[in-house]
Every structure is written in C-alpha cells, then in structure tokens.
C-alpha cells in the first residue's frame, strides 16, 4: 500500500480531531503530502472511523494513484495549497467558534499574543461553494504569510510541516476564536498593537520562550504559556 505510514497518520489525526471537538459527523477533512503524492481523507466517512485503506492517494494534479474511497470534496483546496505553499499537511475543520467568527468578521484580530504562532491577524477567506476553484483561490490568498485561515460561513484551515503541527494550528485557532467570542459577551476586546506583538517576537528571539524561534509545537495548549 503506497504511503502506508501517511495514511495511518491521517486516521490517527482524524480521531484526534473528533476527540477535541474540531469536527462533527463526516464534516472536515485532512491530507498529508509526501513528495509529489498526497494522501487525503475520503468523503462521507466520519474521521474517527477511518482506516488507512479508506484514504486515497493522488498526485498534485488530482489524478488517482492508488484508488480507494472517493476523495473528500475539498481535495481541490488541499491540492491548491500544496501547489502554492510549502505545507506538507492540511487540516480543515468546522469547529464551532471558528464558524461563528467566520460568519461575522472579515478577520480575527490578535487578542492574545499566541496569534503570532499563526502569523498574526487571521484572515477570513470570502465565501464560495465548497469544493470549487473559487474557494481554493480565496483560501490561498488568506493563507499568504499565515499558518491558518478562516473560511466565511464555513470553518477553518490550518497548514504545517506535518499533521501534528497542522492539528496544533487548528486547535490554537479554535481557542483564539473562543477567547474572542467570549470576550465580546462582556465587552469590547482589547486588541494587541503592532508594537506589542513585535515586542513578543523580540523576547522570543532573545531565548525567553521555549526553543530558539517562534513556532508551533505539536501540543500548544495555549493556556500553558505565560
């Protein structure tokens, strides 16, 4: 079976997406790239019920290399991301707070400095029907210089060098959306200024944060930071 390890990783990550509430039912999808091949979750299958054999393998043009179930309807978006960014994994969710923010805002402002882990302000890609080239183009534009984006009236997408990092980005984005939505219920959230964000980056570069650079870890969780 081609990309056996990658397909097994899709199944493990899909289960984690369900466990953490990022998807419900058959919503959401994910993929991983290996060279010029991509393993993607199939359509119409709950992510916590996937088996490696369920996950088709495609090339970057969308041609099936190893047939299985029909690929997710969002596969064109995944392939467009791989053709346009250095991403090696993509996680797409329909998480509750991400959908709320995407349906009401054109961006998610940085109300917490951990927004820097995703590149800063999170853009909302304009609405387009799922699975279309228009949606893929909107998402590519929203991801420029970012590790995640929201999709208007739809959900969220996070990318990374691997599935662990992409999942961490999706979890972090949902947490940031939740903080913002809950803050709006009691007042107008204070947004961090550019100078304040630059100061956080400077502190990280000086070695005060874990690691030597500002980047995602496989398990944020945001509340573990100071």
The CA distance from 162 to 9, in Å, is 10
Edge-to-edge strand list for the sheet holding 57-59: 64-66, 57-59, 37-40, 29-34, 89-93, 155-160, 148-151, 122-125, 107-108
Residues 83, 67: Cα–Cα separation, whole Å: 21
**Structure tokens given for 196:** 């304040």
- 8-22, 57-71, 105-119, 211-225: range with lowest mean pLDDT: 211-225
**pTM of structure:** 0.90
Active-site annotation, residues: 74
Q: Output the six-digit token pair for 76.
A: 């064109």
What are the pLDDT digits (tens) for 164-213? 999 999 999 999 999 999 999 999 999 999 999 999 988 887 765 543 33
Q: Topology of domain 4-209, per CATH?
A: L-fuculose-1-phosphate Aldolase (3.40.225)
pLDDT, tens digit, 9 for 90 and up, residues 4-43: 999 999 999 999 999 999 999 889 999 999 999 999 999 9
Token pair recorded at residue 177: 């959306």
> Among residues 95, 78, 106, 104, which one has the least CA distance to residue 172?
95
pLDDT at position 206: 79
Domain boundaries defined on the chain: 4-209
């Amino acid at each position: 079976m081609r990309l056996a390890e990658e397909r097994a990783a899709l199944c493990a990550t899909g289960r984690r997406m369900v466990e953490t509430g990022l998807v419900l039912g058959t919503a959401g999808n994910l993929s991983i790239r290996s060279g010029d091949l991509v393993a993607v979750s199939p359509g119409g299958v709950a992510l916590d019920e996937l088996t490696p054999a369920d996950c088709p393998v495609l090339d970057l043009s969308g041609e099936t290399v190893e047939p299985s179930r029909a690929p997710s309807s969002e596969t064109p978006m995944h392939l467009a991301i791989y053709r346009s960014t250095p991403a090696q994994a993509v996680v797409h969710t329909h998480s509750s707070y991400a959908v709320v923010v995407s349906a009401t805002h054109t961006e998610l402002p940085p109300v917490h400095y951990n927004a820097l882990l995703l590149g800063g302000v999170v853009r909302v890609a304009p609405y387009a029907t799922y699975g279309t080239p228009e949606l893929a183009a909107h998402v590519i534009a929203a991801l420029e210089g970012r590790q995640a984006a929201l999709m208007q009236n739809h959900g969220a997408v996070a990318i990374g060098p691997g599935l662990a990092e992409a999942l961490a980005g999706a979890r972090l984005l949902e947490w940031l959306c939740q903080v913002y939505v809950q803050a709006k219920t009691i007042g107008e959230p204070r947004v961090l200024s550019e100078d304040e964000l630059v100061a956080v980056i400077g502190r990280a570069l000086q070695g005060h944060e874990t690691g030597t650079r500002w980047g995602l870890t496989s398990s944020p969780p945001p509340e573990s930071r100071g």
